[in-house]
Structure 1
């Protein structure tokens, strides 16, 4: 299955890495990036494992979530089609998830 990481998700990942680096937590930033890669690999291999999330935005019908290992408050938000997995966002649970996704 083809996996696509949208620019919005890439920006989320880079922002989180930058946050850790700004705090002087470079090893945590490295661990986070590795954990994101592992999570993406996991959902690419088992795309329906993530929890479905009800959405009003019709473009996001079928949106699923998967926690980043070791960073359980940060989740992948992704869509699955017959031949593609699309990583839409990577967001911390303290953020306004509905407000961000329902735009």
Structure 2
């Protein structure tokens, strides 16, 4: 069963920000990034539960999972698997202080 994808406002801003950053150097790569994000979301919708649980202390984020964007492995999708949907919480670059960013959610 394909689940519905729900993208939080912060995750949407993340995607837009990375697109703009990549586009400064190479617009074609930025378009490829955006397409890869979309395809990876569709893959998660079809095969929920992919990736691994991401350990966090924040009780609001218990059960959070992570999965890399296809072709852009340093960009990580953080999401919740719900009964009928996949909730995309954030999309973060692996070089960032992910633990600190997620603790503020």
TM-score range normalised by the length of the shorter chain: over 0.9
- Corresponding residue of 2:57: 56
CA displacement 1:15-40 (0-9 Å, x = unmatched): 001001222x0000000000000110
- Corresponding residue of 1:10: 12
Structure 1: give runs of 5+ residues left out of the alignment: none
Runs of 4+ with deviation above 6 angstroms? none
Matches within 5 A, 1:1-103: 1-23=3-25, 25-103=26-104
Calculate the aligned-residue CA RMSD, in Å.
0.8
Structure 2: give runs of 5+ residues left out of the alignment: none
How many residue pairs align between the two structures? 102
Alignment TM-score, normalising by the size of structure 2: 0.93
**How far did residue 102 of structure 1 move?**
0.7
**How far did residue 2 of structure 1 move?**
2.1
CA distance in 2, matches of 1:79, 1:58: 13
Alignment TM-score, normalising by the size of structure 1: 0.95
Query: Are the equivalent residues in 2 in contact too, given 1:43–1:50 (CA < 8 A)?
Result: no
